[in-house]
Structure 1
Amino acid sequence: MRQRVMRVAVVAVLVALVLLATPLALGIQTSFFADERDELERVALAAAIHVPPQFVAGDHVELPAHERGTDVGVYDLSGRLRDGSGPRKADAITQAARGGAVTRGRGDHQIVVAVPIATGEHVIGVVRASTGAQQVWHRVILAWLGLAGTALVALVTAVVVAGRQARTLTAPLEALSAKAGAVADGDLTARAEGSAIAEIDQVAHTQNAMVEHLALRLDHERHFTSNASHQLRTPLAGLQLGLEAAAADPDADLRAAVTEALEQVRHLQRTVDEVLRLARATPRPGVPATARTAAEVVEGAERRWHGTFAAEGRRLDFGVEPGGGGPRIPDRTAEQILDALLDNALRHGRGTVKVTVRELEIAVAVDVSDEGSLTLDRRAAFERGATTSRAGSGIGLTLAREMAEAAGGRLTLARTAPTTFTLLLPVTEPPPPPE
């Protein structure tokens, strides 16, 4: 592109120089020849003044001094050279001046001017002044060479300026290309910088937005496997334990075991849908958003986790403040977040775990607290891998916050001692009554 910009600039300057220099060169030629004719006319007029009336009677004429290379001659009406220098017989231009008018012309590579000599109203002779056209052409060529030199200087200046402008224009594009190459090589942190050119800045802004979107997409894809395995681990483990317990006990109620297994399977299906929805960052087409009351969501979490906490010798309490269980919230999102928070409390917390549901004006708050304390910073608690240990993968809280934000809610660390997480979810509209 740099060469193309320079080529366009140089061609434009060349066209401008040709359009300007051609008429100027013609003007120089015309002007030099016109000036030379005017000078010859002044010389001839000066000589005519020195011709006395007795010229007709044959008196000698004393011509004034003139430049070297200029011929000045006085001719009588018969066309004979009487005094001065010039052809012996008057040429056609000199003979034409006998009519009483100044005549100009060229002949035999000379510039000729003839001025009539008049006494009273009668022409008594003609003064002829001439010079070689070669001398005028010499001055014209020198002027043309000066004009060509000026044009050459202008062209060189244009090339230098065009080169600087080309570098100014192409440097941001080259930098933008380098950033695009870095992104193509896998560096998603590369960002195009701004420049002084609005159009290139717009391209850079578009590229940065594209890279941001691509990085977000790849981040979702990269974390999908870990998110899915983390969320599917708990329901699969519960389903396996329930089926193994029923198979090991010959007196077990198989119908109750199957019912419980079906409930675990339904929860597992909801978990898969929610993880897929989070991976796409947008709700999946064709899958309507479901909602249930906060009380129903909490009751389901109690059924799933009560036995797990009891097996660890820990207590799990659920409480719903007056009016807090009635509002409808996104049930699948709430279930997954509650599972992540309870799993975090089971693995990293201690003592009794308490879940409290509160109603706000346009949202429902769910507090999950235990008797332990958190030493991490409030922001670091939600960073992926911040709490990695032998007991966990360190992505539960991160995934829970992402789910809450995807549903239009928010998950925060309310207190560090005792550890308390607060989930805010928007209240959904109740379904329309059947007609």
Structure 2
Amino acid sequence: MRQRVMRVAVMAVLVALLLLATPLTIGIQTSFFANELDELERVALGAAVHVPTQFAVGGHMDLYARERGIDVGVYDLSGRRRDGSGPRKADAVTQEARNGLVIRGRGDDQLVVAVPLSTEERVIGTVRAASGTAEVWRHIVLAWLALAGLALVALATAVVVARRQARTLSAPLEALSAKAGAVANGDLTARAEGSAIAEIDQVARTQNTMVEQLTRWLEHERHFTSDASHQLRTPLAGLQLGLEAAAADPHADLRAAVTEALEQARHLHRTVDEVLRLARATPRPGGPTAVRPAAAVVEGVERRWHGTFAAEGRRLRLAVEPGGEALRIPDRTAEQVLDVLLDNALRHGRGTVEITVREMGGATAVDVADEGSLTLDQRTVFRRGATTSASGTGIGLTLAREMAETAGGRLTLARRTPTTFTLLLPVTEPPPSQE
């Protein structure tokens, strides 16, 4: 990445220098030759001023001192040099100046400027100034070398800046790649850090969002396995105990045993459906369509658990307050939550357990209370794994709360002593087929 950025930056600078240096080199050459011709013209004009008017009839001439490296000569109309230095016979440039114009040209490795001599609006001769091109080329080459030096300095500066910019651009991408590699290796806590580059920062935020969603889904899958085993354990154990008891007693009523086993199997089927529904539930709650009277739902739960509590020498009571008989609630959700609460009361509570159904401001409240005392606070008791012990996994109350919330309800710890949990469920109207 860094090498690629540097190559791109250096190539861009090279192209820019080439596009800039080409016209500059041509301009330097043209400018130096033009300046030299201007200097020759100045010298020729200065010499023309000193040519006397008697020049036309062969009078004496006294040219001013010539500048070093410049040949200055005076030529008559026949092309013969009368004074100064230069070729004895006028060259083409000098002869062309007899037309009354200042002529510039090149010939025989020289720059030549010819200026006409006029008197009374009549050309009587020409002044020729010439200098070698070698000196001009020496100045041009020196200027080109200076330009090349500046280009090298610019290129070196561009390389330094490109390296710094490449480091600035590649460092966040390398860090982002490292975080992605860590996630690929199983570290779902790795999060990409922000950078000063908006586009890379957006990619980092997108990756973090993706990892967070992936983490939630993986956690959801792990929880589903634990929840399913937790919820299926109790009905399976009841089904197994019932069948074993019937098989061990030769005088047992097999029809009653089969009927009870079928009821346990139906409950197990409903449990599987409810756990699968919870696994597919979205954050937006949506209650199931199957509803029954709250009293009937709670009575069915009480019948299933009555024998289990009696075997432990404990009592299970049911109370329905006035107005609670007609309330309809999601039956499967209520059954699963009550199963968790009763299992929790059997394992961790004491004494008599009482289930109370009551109407509460347009909602159905189901209280499950025992005679025990709870030391954990409201937040800790519903945290997954917070109450893990030898007799439990610590996920039951968490699962119960999640089930209640997916049905649009709520599960709370109403009192610590005596321990009382309250399940609030919205009152659901019965389907048209049931009215």
Equivalent residues of 2:415, 2:421 under 8 A apart: yes
Distance 1:206 1:368 in 2: 45
The change in CA–CA distance for 1:216 and 1:57 in structure 2 (over 3 A counts) is same
What do the CA deviations read for 1:245-299 (whole angstroms, capped 9, x no partner)?
333334433222221111100001111122223334459xxx9753323222211
Matches within 5 A, 1:71-86: 71-86=71-86
Instruction: Summarize the Cα distance change of 1:420–1:123 in structure 2 as closer, same or farther, 3 Å threshold.
Output: same
**TM score, norm. by length of structure 1:** 0.93
Residue 433 of structure 1 corresponds to 433
Counterparts in 2 of 1:330 and 1:173: CA distance versus 1, 3 Å: farther
Residues 137, 219 of structure 1: alpha-carbon distance in 2 compared, 3 angstrom cutoff: same
- Structure 1 position 51 matched with structure 2 position 60: no
CA displacement at 1:35 relative to structure 2: 1.3
Q: Would the alpha carbon gap of residues 288 and 376 (structure 1) be closer, same or farther in structure 2, given more than 3 Å must change?
A: closer
Contact 2:367 2:421 in 1 (8 A): yes
Q: Give the match for residue 380 of structure 1.
A: 380
CA distance in 2, matches of 1:359, 1:413: 18
2:56 & 2:143 partners in 1: Cα distance? 45
Change beyond 3 A, Cα 1:166–1:359: farther
Matched residue, 2:60: 60
**Per-residue CA shift, 1:145-197, capped at 9, x if unaligned?**
22222222222222222222222222221111111111111111111122222
Mind listing any 5+ residue stretches in structure 1 that lack a counterpart? none
**SS, match of residue 379 in structure 1:** helix
Equivalent runs, 1:231-310 vs 2, <5 Å: 231-282=231-282, 289-310=289-310
The DSSP-based 3-state class of the residue aligned with 1:113 is strand
Task: Report if aligned partners of 1:220, 1:280 keep a CA contact under 8 Å in 2.
Answer: no
Task: Tell me which residue corresponds to 2:24.
Answer: 24
CA RMSD of aligned residues (A): 2.1
Of 193-202 and 43-52, deviating more is: 193-202
Q: Given residue 42 of structure 2, which amino acid in structure 1 is its aligned partner?
A: R
Amino acid corresponding to residue 421 of structure 2 in structure 1: F
- Distance in 1 (CA, whole Å) between partners of 2:141 and 2:360 is 97
Whole-Å Cα distance in 1 between the matches of residues 149 and 292 of structure 2? Answer: 89
Q: Percent identity?
A: 79
Who is 2:124 aligned against? 124
User: What SS is found at the alignment partner of 2:413?
Assistant: strand
Could you tell me how far apart the structure 2 residues matched to 1:434 and 1:271 are?
Answer: 23
Aligned to 1:363: 363
Matched, 1:115 2:115: yes
Distance 1:200 1:119, change over 3 A: same
Q: Contact between 2:288 and 2:407, CA under 8 Å: does it hold in 1?
A: no
**Which string of whole-angstrom CA distances, capped at 9 and with x for unpartnered residues, describes residues 201-248 of structure 1?**
222222122212211222122233332222111111211222223333
TM-score norm. by structure 2 comes to 0.93
CA, structure 1 residues 289+179, in 2 after alignment: closer, same or farther (shift >3 Å)? farther
Give, in whole Å, the separation in 1 of the partners of 2:66 and 2:371.
Answer: 124
Taking a change above 3 Å as real, the CA distance of residues 170 and 429 of structure 1, as seen in their structure-2 partners, is: farther
Match of 2:12 in 1: 12
Instruction: State whether residues 288 and 330 of structure 2, in contact with CA within 8 Å, keep that contact through their aligned partners in structure 1.
Output: no
Query: In the TM superposition, what whole-angstrom CA distance separates every residue of 1:391-426 from its partner, at most 9, and x where no partner exists?
Result: 222221122222223333322222222222222233
Q: Which moved more, 1:294-303 or 1:178-187?
A: 294-303
Indicate the residue corresponding to 2:415 in structure 1: 415
- Is the contact made by 1:194 and 1:204 (CA closer than 8 Å) also made in structure 2? yes
Query: Residue in 2 aligned with 1:35?
Result: 35
Offset of 1:362 from its aligned partner?
5.1
Aligned residue for 1:383, secondary structure, equals coil
Could you tell me how far apart the structure 1 residues matched to 2:59 and 2:213 are? Answer: 109
**Aligned 1:191-206 pairs, distance under 5 A:** 191-206=191-206
Q: How does 1:309-388 map to 2 (within 5 A)?
A: 309-361=309-361, 363-388=363-388
SS at structure 2 position matched to 1:417? coil
- Alpha-carbon distance in structure 1 between the residues aligned to 2:205 and 2:365: 39
Shift of 1:431: 0.9
The answer on whether the counterparts of 2:369 and 2:418 sit within 8 Å (CA) in structure 1 is yes
User: Does the 8 Å contact 1:382/1:401 carry over to 2?
Assistant: yes
2:307 maps to a residue whose letter is: G
- Contact 1:401–1:410, Cα closer than 8 Å, also in 2: yes
Q: Is the 8 A contact 1:325 1:359 kept in 2?
A: no
Distance 1:267 1:110 in 2: 115
User: What is the CA distance between 1:94 and its match in structure 2?
Assistant: 0.4
**Alignment partners' CA distance in 2, 1:10 and 1:327:** 79
| Whole-angstrom CA distance in 2 between matches of 1:208 and 1:293 | 46
**1:93 offset after TM fit, Å?**
0.2
1:212 is aligned to 2:192: no
Q: Distance in 2 between matches of 1:333 and 1:420?
A: 19
Letter in 2 for 1:116: P
Instruction: Tell me, in whole angstroms, the C-alpha distance in 1 between the residues paired with 2:292 and 2:388.
Output: 33
Cα distance, 1:50 vs structure 2: 0.3
Q: Which amino acid aligns with 2:4?
A: R
Amino acid at match of 1:370: D
Are the counterparts in 2 of residues 236 and 268 from structure 1 also a CA contact under 8 Å?
Answer: yes
- Cα pair distance change 1:209/1:325, threshold 3 Å: farther
Change (3 A) 1:64 1:419: farther
Assess if the C-alpha contact under 8 Å between 1:72 and 1:129 holds in 2.
yes
CA distance in 2, matches of 1:176, 1:99: 80
